[in-house]
Amino acid sequence: MIHTLMISHRLLSIRDYNEIFRVLALISKENNTTFRKTNLGYETTALRDYGFNKIILKKIKVDTRYKHDYLNITIILNPIKLVNKTRIEVVKEEDLELVYKRFKEVKNKIFIGLPSLEHWDINRVDYAKNIYTEHVKEYIKLFQRADKPSVFKELYCAKSHRRKQLEGSFYLHNKSTVIKKDAGKVISFHALSDEVKNFNITGGKYPLENYNMKILEPRAICNEFLDGDINISFDSGIILVLYTND
């Protein structure tokens, strides 16, 4: 069962980008919602009531050698809202036909030239299972008191300048990982976000230190294992690891 999807579509025309930009700005104004510029691009939540929780429009200068920018639209989608279910649920297989239909109706509000749902790239899927209990607060408190693996950290609160959990929630994160040794095998790393900050590779044939790697940049492809494991770490962003048997 699916709770949330992150989907994206590459735009091949600056004309399409400009038209989508104009429509999103207009829809945001009509819904008293900001259409703001962030480090990811231009974002709006104007269509969140339809399940389009966030829409991100990106225009990225990949390299000064290239004439054209990389154009992309990304949607964080909550499919259950498309089928008009308002309580906390997840979309099921029997809902999919209606999800496809409603997605087409909403995406046409943005730009009729955008493809149907099955032709978007899927960047992330959040699966979920509903668990009903009257003791949610008690369970969360138990999670917060539990032993935490040494490699994981709690959320950092910029206001209090300390690591703390948000009330009623429990989150841990880890910005590094070890990839087990497989001598001679080729491994590649690609940025899936606009930029991966302070990206480090140790233990590989081609090390990298505190490098800010941009999307589509080939700096970290075709690395190789040496005598041990490869360790990667970074401060922010999303990394795709390709580890093939070729």
Domain residue extents for the chain: 2-127, 136-173, 176-243
Q: In what order do the strands lie in the sheet with 195-202?
A: 176-179, 230-233, 195-202, 208-214
Q: Was domain 2-127 assigned CATH 3.30.2030? A: yes
pLDDT at 86 over 60: no
> Residue 129 in 3-state DSSP?
coil
Is 60 exceeded by the pLDDT of residue 188? yes
Query: What is the rounded average pLDDT of the residues 192-203?
Result: 87
Please state whether the predicted TM-score (pTM) of the whole model is above 0.85. no
Euclidean distance between CA atoms 178 and 241, whole angstroms: 12
Helices 14-30 and 96-110: crossing angle, nearest 10°? Answer: 100
Amino acid at 161: H
Question: Could you tell me the pLDDT band of residue 28, with boundaries at 50, 70 and 90?
Answer: very high
